Structure 1
Amino acid sequence: MFDRVSELDTRSLWRIFVAASMVLGIVAAYVSTGDLLPSLVLGWLFAIAVAVVFTALISGVRHVRTRFAGERVEQ
């Protein structure tokens, strides 16, 4: 099982993560609202928010790492 996970590239793992976030957001919104259409919209917005936050977090970590390594940060 872990061999298959290690064969996945970063882009595939990112897509799986965002899809799982969207499903989680849809289910959580449906449980709280009981309506399907708002749940789809809220789940989609939750996935976008999660993707933006983690992208910013990863970018910030890379920026800090390169600063401490003394390398120039590419933008």
Structure 2
Amino acid sequence: MDPFKLYDPVVVSDGYLNCSLDTLQTGKPQYKAALQKELDLPVCDDVQLINFIRRLDPQKGLDLIVKAVPWMIVRSEMSR
């Protein structure tokens, strides 16, 4: 198999649905709901869901995300 196709979300399904630039806006809420269900979280479309898929190493910038979370919460509450 072509190495570029190995992780192509248009070709390879992750068990939820395949996605492309054409289906990104409609597929994103479906992915989010599926992940919330899988993690036993309430399925809510009006809350932020943030993930960090990297090794937990200081050079990866996790400290910046931790510092930004309070700001993101305030911004999220202001937009409601």
Class of the TM-score when normalised by the shorter of the 2 chains: 0.3 to 0.5
TM-score under structure 2 normalisation? 0.32
Tell which structure's C-alpha radius of gyration is larger: 1
User: Would you tell me which structure has more helix in proportion to its own residues?
Assistant: 1
Structure with the larger RCO, 1 or 2 (CA within 8 Å, 6+ apart): 1
TM-score (norm. length: structure 1): 0.33
